[in-house]
Amino acid sequence: QVQLVESGGGVVQPGRSLRLSCAASGFTFTSYAVHWVRQAPGKGLEWVAVISDDGRTKFYADSVKGRFTISRDNSKNTVYLQMNSLSTEDTALYYCARAQPYSSFDYWGQGTLVTVSS
Amino acid sequence: DIQLTQSPSFLSASVGDRVTITCRASQGISSSLAWYLQKPGKAPKLLIYTASTLQSGVPSRFSGSGSGTEFTLTISSLQPEDFATYYCQQLYSYPRTFGGGTKVEIK
């Protein structure tokens, strides 16, 4: 069955970095784009970034552009989100999701919590 | 960026009620809209894609309609497991924006 498992979250001080991972299984990983979506405590969903199936195309939300970098290792079926210059506004539960082209995010992981605090 | 406005943001209803949630896009997005349900502490779950296509395994009491800028999610007879927060999302362009959410609570 399709599974996405996020890891790498934790508590980090403002200005520091963190790298999240999204390990995929149960489907042909190289056929799908993968997105990151975050949810601040008690708030709605915010799209963060996407990487295409071949890793060549990436898009970012304005709120993270220049600070976050999305990448993937198709040999490990894993997508990464490198987060630099973190601020308290980045505190959220971070989900990765598999994308069906122009139609939906059909599978989501359980999320990994990032807390930015001094 | 395309803005999505959901209404209402909060809805109180009873089991068996017919419920309708609206999502309005700031510009035309054809049928590139999805609906998700999220329960507390859980990841969002896909209900509807391309505005009106029911995701496999989702009960038929859920339906979606609309195109362009106006979309609706309808639950024909609300069940206890449907009390949750619902989000719309546009997949027409980047950034992939979400609506603000509609929380459906028990009356």
Q: Which residues of B touch A100 (CB under 8 A)?
A: 49
CA–CA separation, A98 and A9 (whole Å): 19
**DSSP, res A84:** -
For A45, the closest of B44, B46, B55 (CB atoms) is B44
Q: Chain A window 21-60: which residues touch B at a Cβ cutoff of 8 Å? A: 35, 37, 44-47, 50, 59
pLDDT in tens, chain A (118 residues): 999 999 999 999 999 999 999 999 999 999 999 999 999 999 999 999 999 999 999 999 999 999 999 999 999 999 999 999 999 999 999 999 999 887 899 999 999 999 999 9
| End-to-end alpha carbon distance in chain B | 36
Question: Per-residue pLDDT for B97 more than 90?
Answer: yes
Asked if B34's CB is within 8 angstroms of A103's CB, the reply is: yes
Q: How many CB atoms lie within 10 A of CB B63?
A: 17
**DSSP, res A5:** E
User: A114 and A6 in contact (C-beta within 8 Å)?
Assistant: no
Mean pLDDT for B76-82 is 95
Asked if B87's CB is within 8 angstroms of A104's CB, the reply is: no
CA–CA separation, B103 and B27 (whole Å): 24
**pLDDT tens sequence across B9-64:** 999 999 999 999 999 999 999 999 999 999 999 999 999 999 999 999 999 999 99
CA–CA separation, B95 and A24 (whole Å): 23
Asked if A105's CB is within 8 angstroms of B97's CB, the reply is: no
